[in-house]
Amino acid sequence: MANKRVLAFDFGASSGRAILGTFDGKTISLQEIHRFSNDPVSLNGTLYWDILRLYHEIKQGLIKAKLAGGFDCVGIDTWGVDFGLFDEEGRLLENPIHYRDARTEGIMEELFKVIPKEEIYENTGIQFIALNTINQLFSLSKNRPELLKRAHKLLLVPDMMVYFLTGAEHSEYTMASTTQLMNPNTGDWAYSLFDRLGIPKDIFCDIVDAGTCAGNLKDDLCKELGIPSVPVYYVAGHDTGSAVVSVPAEGDDFVYISSGTWSLMGTECEKPVINEKSLQNNFTNEGGYGRNVRLLKNIMGLWLIQESRRQWQREGFEVSFADLEREALACKPFQCFVDPDYEAFNTPGDMPGKIRDYCRMTGQYVPESRGEVMRCIYESLALKYRMTFKALEDLTGHPYPCLHIVGGGTKDGLLSQFASNACGVEVITGPIEATAIGNISVQLMAMGEIANLKEARKIIASSFEQKKYQPKDVDAWNEAAKRFAEIIKR
């Protein structure tokens, strides 16, 4: 069999990459063709995605992939929830706005005045978090209704990129589910919510499954770049959906963290879990590949570290992530904790300052040095993982023997070790390029090269390195967990 060469574009909140996956019938191997930073732009008080620059990077990736020997097909995944609005002629009405923009601050209280929280959860199964598309659109309907009136079409970011490349106008299932406007039981838009929120129904596209062919690369684009017109597939357009495809678990029952800017921690289910307990714990039921369900929680993740590092850079200190890890390790354990999901940490800014404020406010030791701040972040993240792990066990009714961590965050060995210590179970890390590998695997399944998800996971497990961590200092972590639970209630 001739090797298949599959091109994956994977856009994270802080960087993007084009990765060429080669499949020889047994093993997938990766070649990074292009990597670029993703730099949101703040202008006149609004935080935008630099979307045309990102599209430009896709073009660069296509050219480089051709020069590297060519490719048979293309797929795109990105972060969730954000979208572009288009006019009748297919022009973007404005630059897509970043989910961290302030337009959704306080919006959920307004939302619940119109539709009770319980009703929204029952109809969508999605956690309440300000960044959700439902909140962004509700804010537009309240504050900029004229923009929504002018909109002819709404395309979520990966679907928008597919549209740029092929002209196809669909909404891919895994991405649609992140809006909090899709009903996981019907697999269609939760139309009963739309009118009451002033969100127009007709701007939404029909929902298609990951693995659907969107069409071929447009002729004018191929001519411009000198590339062949190969098919573009809708993959699990939501990066977390792609990442979880590549969890190299053997059985059906496992807990994972997709670790990057966010830590997305959960398990995979056949049916959504929508009940009082899941609502109380604010668990989400995101759509997965093959219409399975990712029962998970968003934990703030490496954002806390990335933002802290940006602040230290602004202050003139050039420190690598490895330096920061070393500095953290040299500090005294368990001095102070933060709730990683504290609202003020959500927005860009002086993260070490915000962490110190939090510690002051909760009557704890205030971390001074970089190492102390970092130690506080690492331990707090691990303890939040533990809390979520236990809540998942409680929700699904059975214990989990290990935790898989995939994604860029697994490069950070200290966090993986702390996760094992805090959860008291073995942690298996890898693959690092989980999202791109999931993207590539869905394309290979769409082409009929890999039979199904189970088969894909086997191939991934044997193609990419995994590392194991055993729990250490479990008693000390158990004690710390009690203090952590007290502190984050304050």
Strands 284-287 and 263-269: unpaired
Instruction: Rule CB under 6 A: choose which of 30, 73, 74, 81 binds ligand LFR.
Output: 81
Residues in contact with 441: Cβ distance below 8 Å, sequence separation at least 6, in sequence order? 28, 245, 246, 450, 456, 459, 460
CB 100 within 8 A of CB 159: no
- C-beta of residue 84 within 8 angstroms of C-beta of residue 160: yes
Q: How far is the CB of 400 from ligand LFR (least distance, A)?
A: 21
Give the nearest residue (CB) to ligand LFR.
80
Q: Among residues 301, 305, 308, which one has the least CA distance to residue 262?
A: 301
Nearer to ligand LFR, 21 or 260 (CB): 260
> Nearest distance from residue 70's CB to ligand LFR, in Å?
29
User: Is 173 near ligand LFR (CB under 6 A)?
Assistant: no
Pick the stretch among 17-25, 111-119, 198-206, 233-241 that binds ligand LFR (CB under 6 A).
233-241
Does position 428 interact with ligand LFR (CB under 6 A)? The reply is no
Contact flag: residue 410 with ligand LFR (CB under 6 A): no
DSSP state of 29: E
Q: Looking at 298, 380, 420, 421, which residue binds ligand LFR (CB under 6 A)? A: 298
Residue span binding ligand LFR (CB under 6 A) among the ranges 51-59, 76-84, 211-219, 390-398: 76-84
Nearer to ligand LFR, 240 or 308 (CB): 240
Q: Decide if residue 484 touches ligand LFR (CB under 6 A).
A: no
Question: Can 239 be counted among the known catalytic residues?
Answer: yes
Identify the sign of the CA torsion 120, 122, 127, 128.
positive
Pick from 10, 101, 239, 339 the residue near ligand LFR by CB under 6 A. 239
CA pair distance 64, 234, nearest whole angstrom: 21
- Name the H helices within 144-282: 145-150, 157-166, 173-177, 194-197, 219-225, 239-245, 276-280
Asked if 99 interacts with ligand LFR (CB under 6 A), we say: yes
The verdict on 80 binding ligand LFR (CB under 6 A) reads yes
Judge residue 328's burial from the number of C-beta atoms within 10 Å of its C-beta, 0-12 exposed, 13-18 middle, 19 or more buried. Answer: buried
Residue 345 in contact with residue 287, Cβ under 8 Å?
no
Instruction: Show the DSSP H helices in 68-156 as ranges.
Output: 107-114, 117-124, 133-143, 145-150
* Beta-bridge partners for 22: 5, 29
The catalytic residue among 82, 239, 339, 412 is 239
The reply on whether position 125 binds ligand LFR by CB under 6 A is no
Among 9, 23, 71, 79, binds ligand LFR (CB under 6 A): 79
Q: In this chain, which stretch among 61-69, 75-83, 271-279, 394-402 interacts with ligand LFR, using CB under 6 A? A: 75-83
Count of residues near ligand LFR by CB under 6 A: 15
Residue 289 found at the interface with ligand LFR (CB under 6 A): no
Least distance CB 46 / ligand LFR (angstroms): 17
- Give the separation between CA 478 and CA 486, rounded to whole angstroms: 13
Q: Does 54 bind ligand LFR (CB under 6 A)?
A: no
Instruction: Write out the catalytic residue numbers.
Output: 239
Q: Give the residues lining the site for ligand LFR (CB under 6 A).
A: 12-13, 79-81, 99, 131, 238-240, 260-262, 264, 298
